[in-house]
């Protein structure tokens, strides 16, 4: 994919959040996107048409992460109120709240079957919550992290968490092993490549690191942006050809996956770009920022 | 009750007596007015207090429809006489509340301040309260004082009227009143604050008395007035009257006030007293945005002053708040406490301060009064006053003290150093060193020391070594001259150095060097030269260029380094020449020319001085050269830079290399991959639709294989012995601090015993039994001598080795996994253990409770006699009881590793956590056992108790921790066995508990146990006899 195919044209600005937007995520098929922010709301958008569809209010504090099931029927969200909310998308009602984290919850994800919500918390733990039963207790608590767990990523068989202690830990359920890759720098964000072979870890030394999952080898480092104090997201493009991520100066960067050169950067927001999410199939991207906007980018 | 009922709506018809019905019906209805409500509204009737019907419809009036409830007079209404509105145009009639009050209400004083109304003096705004009266007394006095001033002001009033100014300057004695010492009501205070002055009415200024005053001043203004002055409501006429003779009696406050007060606040005329600091912002009352930043107040004031006059911005909106100004994360509820996480970490969302300031500077409303004010402001805030050119609010600022230009930041010590300097003002002559080499060395050493440490040292050593002939040079003996010379030299050198350091008068090269060396010390990286481009082709040309440069700089090949920069004496060419000569002599070897011919004209002292300075400079240069050389020697830079290149070239390549090296190093270090065992919960596996990798395996330990290994393949375990044995020797210092993790230790001890059991069953080492039981019998004899402890320990060691031999093998592996340390099966936890041990040993050694722990170890060992049962179970029930056994084994391995190898439970953190994990998994099992421990063999218990008792005795006094844990145990267990101190008891209970569990698990164990018990006992007996 050449540079021209990178989504660099702003097609929509989604406004509605008051205050910083902390995360914006495409849903499974990329037709919708979810955002959450400091105004304690979660919002559902159609980014392609720039329409605000629904607002989910129940959180008591800022909402830090949100994820939607693959069938788009349920949401999970987490935030500063130390709870994980399990929502019904259509009605906007909270089906369940999972309490138990001792600190703010930084990230949530559904597993493949939407039967488990795994959350990553400031209390240095990952917790898996059961959506199927009515148990309020977590299925499992993983507390081998030495510091706040910032981000989480699930595959069919693994739970991957990135922590401020500098490790990306992969918990393989199938094998029953924990693989800890110490990067030496606080990890802000972990995201998987689309082929599932690599982990992209955003570190607080203004570097994104690409790890080979099977060997733990550091494949590449992507630099140029600024990320020293905020939790910023990063991800790979849908073709895995480029790496993209926001910067604290409002820029969005695109790196070539292989040679780590900055192939494109442009100013997308007035303020810190907190989150980037790439469309699973098309060349489309949504970015969210502290300036309260979510922008949709296309080629 | 009745009154209650009156307010209720009743349903249904009340039963009434028939006889009363007719006569009282109406009255009853009237009395219980509540009943009216049962009727629909159109059926209800209004009655007076006697139950008479006073309101009638138009056609049902009859006689009683008199004036009672209508007009209020017998005559009824009189039609208003026609008035032509030709002359009297429709007037705007002012009404006040009195127009709508009835006589009785008026008499009651309804709504009229002060009369009959119950406000307290404090809230009685206009009331004629005692306070008010007292205040008025004061006012009267003030009136006298202010009269003169007011007269002046009156003239101003007229003037102001001329200019269509609101006569706000009417000389209410406001300033004086504010200081009135008598208490005032809140309302008055508020009004005063709002600009009201006493005696003025609170009314719109149109149509007020002031207007009349104006009219009186100039009739012409009447035409422009919006109100007709003639139309005065009656009550205000009195005021008008007052005001009309206002010029004559300008301070007629009292009269006016008293007249206006009867009508409450309604007749009072508003006057435009200029408020010094009107509240024009939208802040809450009393909120001062500049409370902590008076500078901004100044700022704002000046801005307003600039803007004053006509420049009213159109921005003044009541909703001047920018929406963004509300805290960006606005959603925090009022009840939620605002803590750190609510801070706007992004802080960039809104220009908070901007909005804030903008908002502040707007006057919220545009009013005519403002305009007048503004105009007045030009003249001054108050007539007769001017705005002060310098405000009180000015922050007092102090200039930073000026540092004199020649100031040297250096402290001069008036101590011995200075004295020394002066001591040898006269340069001692160059003296030949004494023949004795030792003496020479001594002299030089002393001289150096004295130079460094001061004269005091000389005196001291003189005093000390008075009798020592070697030190005679100090007091004028042999070598004194040499000493003097050396001392002088040393002092010069020393002073030079210090002065160089302090004054910064070093030659440039030296200076540069120090900066760099300091940088080196601090790990700084020199700035990269911008021209340097890391491409090889450019680099080569660069180097060539540098070569050329150095060629030009250098004077001779041997002094290639001695560039211009490094010429320390370039300001003095002659000296420089001498210096170079000196250098040549110094480094080229050969004989020195006795005295440099160049400096022949110099005095001896000057020459000596110069030589010292040369020496110093040469030294510095040498150092520089060395530093450079070493840099050049660094392999990476060697390739690019040949030896002769100037220093900065080397330094510019080097950092890059350093960075790279660092990078590489870091890359080598990170990412670091470690692999641990992690056990997903079965439910998680289920939810992920995966097969539990540990399915069917005992909860704590992953692999069954390990268990089998440990049981069968003793050959494996032999390897472990070697590792373990040395560690058993450390047992003496091992400690099981029974601190907070008491339960950990508990479970560990338990498990340990279990693990031990297995071992025994396999090998049955006799000495193990001996170790276990012999001391038992001994101690039962009541002997608690210390000498025995050693014996016991020895036994315990033996037992431990035996145990470890058996257990070490695969347990270690599993343990390693459990602890998160990748231990290859062959190389058991020994390494890891040793690590832990190494860390903890020190701690342990310092541990005052060492002996306690020791004894505890013994306890554990002694517990081994229980173990066979477990072992038995394990063997018998391997398939079915795999879980528990496995757990036991794992933990026993834990225990063993720790116990044998002086397991400290003062673990480093990760270790502890691992243990915690293990414990977490473990706890359910133990709990179960706890609860199950209902049946117990008394004899066992007793024996145990006694044994523990014994151990406890040893431990007594030093065992301080874990009380709570014991208490717990205590409470949870039967209290039948109380022996000795609670500590002992609890301890014994603990052990017995373990015991019990085991028993419970396998009923057949008990019989087994008895057999074996006998056996070991007999063995013990045997051993004793031996």
Residues in B touching A185 (Cβ below 8 Å): 670
Residues in A touching B675 (Cβ below 8 Å): 177-180
For B940, residues 6+ apart whose C-beta sits below 8 A from its C-beta are B992, B995, B999, B1009, B1013
3-state secondary structure of B453: helix
Q: Where are the domains of chain A?
A: 3-298
User: Which of B503, B522, B546 delimits the end of a domain?
Assistant: B503
In sequence order, what DSSP letters do the residues of A221-236 get, joined into one string? EEESS--SSS---EEE
**Each residue's pLDDT tens digit, B559-616:** 444 444 456 666 666 777 777 777 776 665 545 544 444 445 666 777 777 778 877 7
- Residues B772 and B649 reside in one and the same domain: no
- Residues B810 and B907 reside in one and the same domain: yes
- Residues B136 and B167 reside in one and the same domain: yes
Token pair for B178: 């504010």
In sequence order, what DSSP letters do the residues of B31-87 get, joined into one string? H-HHHHTTS-GGG---B-TTS-B----SSS--TT-SSTTTTSSTT---PPPP--TTT
Contact state of B348 with A272 under an 8 Å Cβ cutoff: yes
What ipTM was assigned to the predicted interfaces of this complex? Answer: 0.88
Tell how strand A207-212 and strand A218-223 pair up. antiparallel
Question: What are the distances in angstroms from CA B617 to CA B49, B125, B587, B599?
Answer: 122, 92, 13, 18
| Rounded-to-integer distance, Cα A22 and Cα A66, Å | 10
**Each residue's pLDDT tens digit, B166-206:** 444 444 444 444 444 456 678 888 888 887 777 666 665 44
Among B330, B341, B681, select the one facing A19 at the smallest CB separation: B330
Domain that holds residue B213: 130-266
| Rounded-to-integer distance, Cα A76 and Cα A95, Å | 10
pLDDT band at B755 (very low <50, low <70, confident <90, very high): very low
- Examine the pLDDT at B134 and tell me if it is beyond 80: no
| Rounded-to-integer distance, Cα B170 and Cα B273, Å | 7
Contact state of A183 with B675 under an 8 Å Cβ cutoff: no
| Rounded-to-integer distance, Cα B868 and Cα B275, Å | 98
| Buried/exposed code over B138-154 (b: 16+ C-beta within 10 A; e: otherwise) | ebeebbeebeebbeebb
R_g of chain A, CA atoms, integer Å: 17
pLDDT band at B668 (very low <50, low <70, confident <90, very high): low
Q: What does the pLDDT average to over B743-770?
A: 47
Determine the number of helices (DSSP H) and then strands (DSSP E) in chain A. 0, 28
Which of A239, A99, A236, A61 is CA-nearest to residue B339? A61
Which of A278, A297, A186 is CA-nearest to residue A240? A278
For B97, residues 6+ apart whose C-beta sits below 8 A from its C-beta are B111, B264, B266
CB A221 within 8 A of CB A208: yes
- Residues B843 and B872 reside in one and the same domain: yes
Question: What are the distances in angstroms from CA B814 to CA B721, B746, B819, B886, B904?
Answer: 17, 20, 8, 11, 19
| Rounded-to-integer distance, Cα B890 and Cα B898, Å | 12
For A81, residues 6+ apart whose C-beta sits below 8 A from its C-beta are A59, A60, A61, A104
Question: What are the distances in angstroms from CA B644 to CA B545, B563, B587, B622, B641?
Answer: 12, 11, 18, 15, 8
Closest CA–CA distance from residue B708 to any residue of chain A (Å): 21
Q: What does the pLDDT average to over B861-881?
A: 42
3-state secondary structure of A246: strand
- Residues B311 and B376 reside in one and the same domain: yes
- Examine the pLDDT at B297 and tell me if it is beyond 60: yes
pLDDT band at A119 (very low <50, low <70, confident <90, very high): very high
CB B578 within 8 A of CB B599: yes
**Each residue's pLDDT tens digit, B790-839:** 455 555 555 565 555 555 555 555 656 666 554 444 444 444 444 444 44
For A234, residues 6+ apart whose C-beta sits below 8 A from its C-beta are A189, A191, A200, A202, A208, A243, A244, A245, A246, A276
| Rounded-to-integer distance, Cα A28 and Cα B630, Å | 61
Residue B772 maps to a domain: yes
What angle is formed at CA B34 by the lines to CA B32 and CA B38, rounded to 5 degrees? 120
Tell how strand A41-46 and strand A242-246 pair up. unpaired
| Rounded-to-integer distance, Cα B1024 and Cα A76, Å | 71
Residues in A touching B679 (Cβ below 8 Å): 176
pLDDT band at A156 (very low <50, low <70, confident <90, very high): confident
Strand segments, DSSP code E, in A149-279 are: 149-154, 158-163, 167-172, 177-182, 187-192, 198-203, 207-212, 218-223, 234-236, 242-246, 251-256, 262-267, 273-278
Average pLDDT score, chain B: 55
Q: How many CB pairs under 8 A join A and B?
A: 146
More confident residue, B385 or B341: B385
- Residues B736 and B878 reside in one and the same domain: yes
> Could you tell me which chain A residue has the CA closest to the CA of B680?
A173
- Residues B466 and B528 reside in one and the same domain: no
Residue B381 maps to a domain: yes
Contact state of B679 with A176 under an 8 Å Cβ cutoff: yes
Phi, psi of B547 (to 5 degrees): -55, -50
More confident residue, B928 or A165: A165
| Rounded-to-integer distance, Cα B732 and Cα A94, Å | 60
Domains: count for chain B? 6
CB A140 within 8 A of CB B638: no
- Examine the pLDDT at B697 and tell me if it is beyond 80: no
> Could you tell me which chain B residue has the CA closest to the CA of A122?
B341
Per-residue pLDDT, B18 = 57
| Cα-based torsion angle of the residue sequence B739, B743, B748, B754 in order, rounded to the nearest 10 degrees | 140
Residue B93 maps to a domain: no
Residue B55 maps to a domain: no
Among B330, B669, B690, select the one facing A173 at the smallest CB separation: B690
Residues in B touching A38 (Cβ below 8 Å): 328-329, 331, 344
| Rounded-to-integer distance, Cα B633 and Cα B1006, Å | 78
- Residues B384 and B486 reside in one and the same domain: no
Closest CA–CA distance from residue A174 to any residue of chain B (Å): 6
- Examine the pLDDT at B846 and tell me if it is beyond 50: no
CB A119 within 8 A of CB A107: yes
Burial of A4 (0-12, 13-18, 19+ CB in 10 A): exposed
- Examine the pLDDT at A93 and tell me if it is beyond 70: yes
| Rounded-to-integer distance, Cα B184 and Cα B190, Å | 10
Residues in B touching A39 (Cβ below 8 Å): 329-331
> Could you tell me which chain A residue has the CA closest to the CA of B348?
A271
- Residues B819 and B841 reside in one and the same domain: yes
Question: Which one of B351, B666, B671 makes the best mutation probe of the A interface by having the most chain A beta carbons within 10 Å?
Answer: B671
**Each residue's pLDDT tens digit, B301-339:** 777 777 654 444 434 434 333 333 334 444 445 555 555
Contact state of A40 with B331 under an 8 Å Cβ cutoff: yes
CB B64 within 8 A of CB B52: yes
- Residues B304 and B350 reside in one and the same domain: yes
- Residues B833 and B929 reside in one and the same domain: yes
> Could you tell me which chain A residue has the CA closest to the CA of B333?
A60
Which of B899, B688, B327 is CA-nearest to residue A154? B688
More confident residue, B65 or A4: A4
Residues in B touching A174 (Cβ below 8 Å): 690-691, 693
Phi, psi of B825 (to 5 degrees): -60, -30
**B702 vs A: CB within 8 A:** yes
Class in CATH terms, A3-298:
mainly beta
């Amino acid at each position: 994919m050449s540079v021209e195919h990178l989504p660099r044209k702003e097609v929509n600005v989604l406004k509605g959040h008051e205050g910083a937007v902390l995360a914006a995520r495409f849903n499974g098929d990329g037709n919708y996107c979810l955002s959450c922010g400091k105004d304690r709301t979660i919002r559902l958008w159609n980014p392609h048409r720039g329409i605000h569809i629904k607002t989910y209010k129940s959180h008591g504090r800022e909402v830090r992460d949100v994820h939607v099931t693959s069938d788009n029927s349920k949401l999970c969200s987490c935030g500063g109120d130390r709870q994980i909310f399990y929502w019904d998308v259509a009605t906007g009602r909270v089906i369940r709240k999972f309490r138990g984290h001792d600190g703010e919850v930084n990230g949530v994800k559904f597993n493949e079957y939407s039967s488990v919500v795994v959350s990553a918390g400031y209390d240095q733990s990952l917790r898996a919550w059961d959506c199927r039963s009515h148990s309020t207790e977590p299925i499992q608590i993983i507390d081998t992290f030495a510091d706040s767990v910032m981000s989480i990523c699930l595959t069919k068989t693994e739970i991957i968490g990135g922590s401020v202690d500098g490790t990306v830990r992969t918990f393989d359920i199938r094998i029953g092993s924990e693989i800890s890759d110490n990067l030496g720098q606080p990890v802000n964000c972990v995201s998987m490549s689309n082929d599932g072979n690599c982990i992209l870890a955003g570190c607080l030394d203004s570097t994104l690191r690409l790890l080979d999952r099977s060997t733990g080898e550091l494949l590449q480092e992507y630099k140029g942006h600024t990320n020293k104090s905020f939790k910023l997201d990063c991800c790979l493009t849908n073709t895995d050809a480029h790496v993209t991520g926001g910067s604290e100066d409002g820029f969005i960067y695109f790196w070539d996956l292989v040679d780590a050169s900055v192939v494109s950067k442009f100013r997308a927001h007035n303020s810190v770009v907190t989150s980037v999410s790439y469309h699973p199939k098309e060349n489309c991207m949504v970015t969210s920022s502290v300036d309260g906007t979510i922008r949709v980018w296309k080629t | 009750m009745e009154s209650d009922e009156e307010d209720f709506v009743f349903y249904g018809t009340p039963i009434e007596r028939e006889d009363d019905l007719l006569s009282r019906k109406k009255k009853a209805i009237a009395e219980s007015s509540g009943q009216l409500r049962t009727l629909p509204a159109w059926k209800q009737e209004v009655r007076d207090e006697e139950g008479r019907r006073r309101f009638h419809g138009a056609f049902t009036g009859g006689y009683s429809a008199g004036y009672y409830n209508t007009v209020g007079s017998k005559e009824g209404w009189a039609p208003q006489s026609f008035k032509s509105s030709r002359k009297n145009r429709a007037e705007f009639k002012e009404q006040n509340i009195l127009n709508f009050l009835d006589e009785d209400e008026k008499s009651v004083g309804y709504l009229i301040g002060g009369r009959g109304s119950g406000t307290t003096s404090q809230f009685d705004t206009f009331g004629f309260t005692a306070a008010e009266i007292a205040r008025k007394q004061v006012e009267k006095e003030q009136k006298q004082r202010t009269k003169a001033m007011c007269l002046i002001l009156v003239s101003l009033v007229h003037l102001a009227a001329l200019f269509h100014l609101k006569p706000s300057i009417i000389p209410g004695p406001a300033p004086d009143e504010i200081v009135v010492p008598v208490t005032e009501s809140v309302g008055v205070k508020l009004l005063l604050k709002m600009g009201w002055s006493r005696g003025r009415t609170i009314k719109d200024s149109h149509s007020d008395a002031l207007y009349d005053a104006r009219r009186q001043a100039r009739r012409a203004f009447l035409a422009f007035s919006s109100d007709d002055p003639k139309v005065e409501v009656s009550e205000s006429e009195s005021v008008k009257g007052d005001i009309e003779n206002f010029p004559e009696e300008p301070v007629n406050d009292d009269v006016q006030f008293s007249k206006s007060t009867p009508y409450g606040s309604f007749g009072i005329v508003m006057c435009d007293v200029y408020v010094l600091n009107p509240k024009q912002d939208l802040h809450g009352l009393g909120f001062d945005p500049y409370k902590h930043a008076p500078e901004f107040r100044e700022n704002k004031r000046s801005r307003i002053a600039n803007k004053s006059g006509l420049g009213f911005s159109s921005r003044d909106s009541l909703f001047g708040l920018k929406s963004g100004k509300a805290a960006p994360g606005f959603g925090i509820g009022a009840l939620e406490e605002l803590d750190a996480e609510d801070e706007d970490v992004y802080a960039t969302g809104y220009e908070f301060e901007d909005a804030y300031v903008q908002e502040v500077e707007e006057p919220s409303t545009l009013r005519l009064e403002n305009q007048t004010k503004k105009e007045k402001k030009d003249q001054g805030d108050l007539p007769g006053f001017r705005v002060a050119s310098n405000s009180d609010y000015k922050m007092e600022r102090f200039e930073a003290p000026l540092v004199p230009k020649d100031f040297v930041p250096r402290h001069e010590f008036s101590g011995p150093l200075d004295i020394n300097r002066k001591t040898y003002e006269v340069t001692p002559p160059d003296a030949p060193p004494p023949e004795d080499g030792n003496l020479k060395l001594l002299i030089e050493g002393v001289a150096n020391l004295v130079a460094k440490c001061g004269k005091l040292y000389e005196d001291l050593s003189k005093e000390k070594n008075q009798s020592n002939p070697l030190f005679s040079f100090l007091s004028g003996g042999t070598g004194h001259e040499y000493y003097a010379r050396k001392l002088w030299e040393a002092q010069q050198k020393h002073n030079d150095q210090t002065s160089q350091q302090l004054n910064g008068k070093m030659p440039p090269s030296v200076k540069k060097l120090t900066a760099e060396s300091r940088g080196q010390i601090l790990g700084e990286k020199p700035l990269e030269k911008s021209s340097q481009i890391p491409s090889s082709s450019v680099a080569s040309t660069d180097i060539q260029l540098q070569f050329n440069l150095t060629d030009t700089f250098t004077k001779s090949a041997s002094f290639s380094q001695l560039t211009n920069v490094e010429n320390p004496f370039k300001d003095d060419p002659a000296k420089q020449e001498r210096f170079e000569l000196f250098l040549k002599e110094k480094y080229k070897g050969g004989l020195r020319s006795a005295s440099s011919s160049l400096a022949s004209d110099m005095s001896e002292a000057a020459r000596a001085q110069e030589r010292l300075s040369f020496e110093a400079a040469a030294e510095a240069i040498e150092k520089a050269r060395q530093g450079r050389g070493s840099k050049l020697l660094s392999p990476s830079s060697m390739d690019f830079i040949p030896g002769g290149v100037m220093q900065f070239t080397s330094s510019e390549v080097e950092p890059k290399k350093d960075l790279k090296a660092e990078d590489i190093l870091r890359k080598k270090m990170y990412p670091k991959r470690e692999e641990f065992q992690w056990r997903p919960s079965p439910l998680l596996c289920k939810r992920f639709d995966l097969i539990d990798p540990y399915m069917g395996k005992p909860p704590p330990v992953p692999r069954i294989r390990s268990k089998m290994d440990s049981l069968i393949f003793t050959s494996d375990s032999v390897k472990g012995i070697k590792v373990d044995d040395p560690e058993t020797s450390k047992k003496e210092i091992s400690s099981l601090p029974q601190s907070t993790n008491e339960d950990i230790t508990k479970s560990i001890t338990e498990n340990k015993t279990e693990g031990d059991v297995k071992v025994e069953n396999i090998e049955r080492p006799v000495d193990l039994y001996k170790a276990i039981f012999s001391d038992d019998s001994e101690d039962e004899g009541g002997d608690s001598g210390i000498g025995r402890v050693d014996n016991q320990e020895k036994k315990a060691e033996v037992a431990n080795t035996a145990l470890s031999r058996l257990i070490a093998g695969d347990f270690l592996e599993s343990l390693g996994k459990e602890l998160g340390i990748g231990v290859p099966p062959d190389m058991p936890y020994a390494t890891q253990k040793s690590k832990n041990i190494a860390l903890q040993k020190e701690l342990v050694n310092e541990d005052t409770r060492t002996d306690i722990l020791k004894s505890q170890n013994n306890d554990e060992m002694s517990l081994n006699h229980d173990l066979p049962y477990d072992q038995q179970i394990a063997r018998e029930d391997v398939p079915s009881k795999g879980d528990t056994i496995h757990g036991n084994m794992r933990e026993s391995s834990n225990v063993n590793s720790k116990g044998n190898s002086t397991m400290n439970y003062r673990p480093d953190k990760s270790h502890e956590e691992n243990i915690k994990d293990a414990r977490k998994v473990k706890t359910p099992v133990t709990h179960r056992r706890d609860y199950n421990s209902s049946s117990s063999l008394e004899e066992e218990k007793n024996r145990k108790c006694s044994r523990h008792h014994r151990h406890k005795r040893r431990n007594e006094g030093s065992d301080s921790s874990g009380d709570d844990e014991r208490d717990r145990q205590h409470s949870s267990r039967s209290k039948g066995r109380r022996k000795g101190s609670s500590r002992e008891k609890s301890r014994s209970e603990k052990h017995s508990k373990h015991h019990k569990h085991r028993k419970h698990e396998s009923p057949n164990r008990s019989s087994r146990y008895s057999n074996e018990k006998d056996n070991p006992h007999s063995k013990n007996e045997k051993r004793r006899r031996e």
